[in-house]
């Protein structure tokens, strides 16, 4: 049985070697995912694809591999990213949704369930809409609102929600400034704010530095600028007994919980991501 040694699998293997030699991270995964896209088959089915590539397919694949060699992220090449149950369109205005953030959604869902599964949820700085759309899709009895400072990002997020057939109320807003008048109070606030220290931005890998919008990454000199703003501005849109779920950068969870505590929130603890790193800080507000 020679299928897989002469077919698609072999083409992917050669491309992976080329990417590896160019120092591209996760070369095999990149090569396989991009080939799956070109051939229109699932990644797991590449082994069973015995036909040689057509000229068009070869040309398209070579162009994809050239872009990946320049460290363009696979999701940017494809124009979409997978996040929980969703296939989300991404563009230069939106951060590529990270698997880390899936655990932030998980933490928010737990809180929603502890409230009986139906409440008002606000996602601040939604980007491609990953958090808001996931929550709306996975807990359809919630009312989900989401904001972003970028109208272009909101356009992408609206398209993503529409494509997934879920209802999210998207609003243009800089963090929670002036939001109370238009949306009233919510029960759960969730956010993945920019949290990279400004001085660390230039150390990020090219996939992030050159392709994610800096405004979605830069958390100011100590990486905590947006947490300060959230603790300052969010109480206006939070009801008594509301909960807050914030994605945090590596090593920031304790500091964020502590600052929230000093700003009048009750720190509830943190939740890890799949690699075991504390990724979501949980707080509540009661009076
Ligand atoms: N997790 C992203 C990264 O390190 C940063 C996202 C953010 O700042 N919220 O690439």
Q: Is 195 in the pocket of ligand 1 (CB under 6 A)?
A: yes
| Residue 164, H or E segment | helix 151-164
User: In the prediction, which pLDDT does 196 show?
Assistant: 98
Which residue would you say has higher pLDDT here, 72 or 50? Answer: 72
Q: Is 98 in the pocket of ligand 1 (CB under 6 A)?
A: yes
113-140 pLDDT tens trace: 999 989 999 999 999 999 999 999 999 9
β-bridge mates for residue 269, sequence order:
282
| Average pLDDT rounded to a whole number, residues 17-45 | 97
Which protein residue has the closest C-alpha to ligand 1 atom 9? Answer: 194
User: In the prediction, which pLDDT does 6 show?
Assistant: 58
> Alpha carbon of 158 to those of 147, 162, 255: distances in Å?
11, 6, 33
CA-wise closest residue to 36 among 46, 48, 47: 46
CA of residue 194 to ligand 1 center, whole Å: 7
User: In the prediction, which pLDDT does 197 show?
Assistant: 98
Checking if the pLDDT of 3 tops 50, the result is no
Q: Is 96 in the pocket of ligand 1 (CB under 6 A)?
A: no
Checking if the pLDDT of 2 tops 90, the result is no
DSSP per-residue codes, 42-87: -GGGGGG--SPPPHHHHHHHHHHHHHHHTT--HHHHHTEEEETTEE
User: In the prediction, which pLDDT does 75 show?
Assistant: 97
Q: Is 19 in the pocket of ligand 1 (CB under 6 A)?
A: no
Average per-residue pLDDT for the chain = 95
User: In the prediction, which pLDDT does 7 show?
Assistant: 86
176-208 pLDDT tens trace: 988 988 999 999 999 999 999 999 999 999 999
User: In the prediction, which pLDDT does 50 show?
Assistant: 86
CA of residue 218 to ligand 1 center, whole Å: 9
């Amino acid at each position: 049985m020679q299928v897989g040694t002469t077919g698609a699998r072999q083409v992917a293997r050669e491309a992976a070697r080329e990417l590896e030699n160019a120092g591209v991270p996760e070369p095999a995964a990149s090569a396989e995912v991009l080939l799956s896209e070109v051939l229109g088959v699932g990644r797991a089915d590449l082994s069973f694809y015995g036909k040689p590539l057509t000229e068009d397919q070869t040309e398209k694949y070579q162009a994809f591999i050239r872009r990946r060699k320049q460290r363009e992220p696979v999701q940017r090449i494809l124009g979409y990213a997978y996040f929980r149950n969703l296939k989300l369109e991404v563009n230069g205005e939106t951060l590529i949704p990270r698997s880390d953030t899936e655990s932030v959604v998980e933490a928010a869902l737990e809180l929603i369930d502890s409230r009986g599964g139906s409440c008002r949820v606000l996602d601040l700085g939604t980007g491609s809409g990953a958090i808001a759309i996931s929550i709306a899709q996975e807990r359809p009895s919630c009312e989900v609102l989401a904001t972003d400072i970028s109208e272009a990002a909101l356009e992408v997020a609206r398209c993503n929600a529409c494509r997934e057939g879920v209802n999210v109320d998207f609003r243009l807003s800089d963090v929670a400034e002036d939001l109370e008048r238009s949306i009233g109070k919510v029960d759960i606030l969730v956010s993945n704010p920019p949290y990279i220290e400004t001085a660390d931005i230039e150390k990020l890998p090219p996939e992030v530095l050159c392709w994610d919008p800096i405004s979605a990454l830069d958390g100011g000199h100590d990486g905590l600028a947006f947490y300060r703003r959230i603790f300052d501005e969010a109480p206006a849109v939070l009801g008594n007994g509301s909960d807050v779920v914030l994605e945090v950068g590596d090593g920031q969870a304790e500091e964020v919980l502590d600052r929230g505590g000093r700003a009048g929130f009750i720190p509830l603890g943190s939740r890890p991501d799949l690699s075991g790193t504390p990724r979501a800080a949980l707080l509540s507000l009661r009076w």
